[in-house]
Amino acid sequence: AQSVTQLGSHVSVSEGALVLLRCNYSSSVPPYLFWYVQYPNQGLQLLLKYTTGATLVKGINGFEAEFKKSETSFHLTKPSAHMSDAAEYFCAVSRAGGTSYGKLTFGQGTILTVHP
């Protein structure tokens, strides 16, 4: 079984400040890890993903995340927040291998608010 916990359902930052959204996972097998973003009244779109290889992954819009196996974490960061980053962010995990690729387990979501 696998699970994802996002710490903090709401995060508020000032424009230009560091964005840090926390995600911890549990998985009995090597995981694939994802961050998705959802803008109001839209579907989810992929920000970045970790499968194998380099543990620091870069995504769109200046976001990056680091896979830390020892901490079972995959926190999302961005050095400088922009107003357009305001959205809901979801961390997700899937099993690596077999037919489990697309059957993601999602966290509860974190709503990011950016204020001027």
Tell me the closest approach of the beta carbon of residue 1 to other proteins, in angstroms: 11
Q: Residue 32 interacts with other proteins (CB under 8 A)?
A: yes
Write phi, then psi, for 6 (nearest 5 degrees).
-105, 125
Sequential DSSP letters for 36-88? EEE-TTS-EEEEEEE-SS-SEEE-GGG-EEEEEGGGTEEEEEESS--GGG-EE
Based on the shown chain and the rule CB under 8 A, indicate whether residue 74 belongs to the binding site for other proteins. Answer: no
User: Segment contacting other proteins (CB under 8 A): 22-30, 62-70, 71-79, 101-109?
Assistant: 101-109
Burial of residue 2 (CB within 10 Å: 0-12, 13-18, 19+) is middle
25 contacts other proteins (rule: CB under 8 A): no
Interface with other proteins, residue 29, by CB under 8 A: no
68 binds other proteins (CB under 8 A): no
Q: Does 99 bind other proteins (CB under 8 A)?
A: yes
Does the footprint of other proteins cover residue 28 (CB under 8 A)?
no
Q: Which of 40, 53, 102, 116 forms a contact with other proteins (CB under 8 A)?
A: 102
